[in-house]
Amino acid sequence: MISDTSLYTLALFLGSTAMLLIVGYHFLEINAKDSDVLSEDRKRDAGAVPGKVRS
């Protein structure tokens, strides 16, 4: 059976890893360069909003 100390160490490690991954993801997302060239699929997806009528 797992001891309290081992469980505490595992929880601390997994929590720290999750926080580092979240911070890393946000860092990469904020610093990502937007490309001016969109594919045709992305243009179609961005243009059509369900429930809205274009005027």
Which residue from 1, 23, 40, 29 is spatially nearest to 15, judged by alpha carbons? Answer: 23
For residue 19, tell me if it sits in a domain: yes
What's the pLDDT score for residue 48?
60
Q: How many domains does the chain have?
A: 1
> In the prediction, which pLDDT does 9 show?
98
Q: What distances in angstroms separate CA 30 from CA 6, 16, 37, one per listed residue?
A: 36, 21, 19
Tell me which residue range forms the domain holding 11. Answer: 1-30
The answer as to whether 40 is a domain residue is no
3-state per-residue secondary structure call for 4-34: HHHHHHHHHHHHHHHHHHHHHHHHHHHHCCC
Q: pLDDT 10s per residue in the chain (55 long)?
A: 999 999 999 999 999 999 999 999 999 999 988 766 666 666 666 666 666 665 5
At 10 the pLDDT is 98
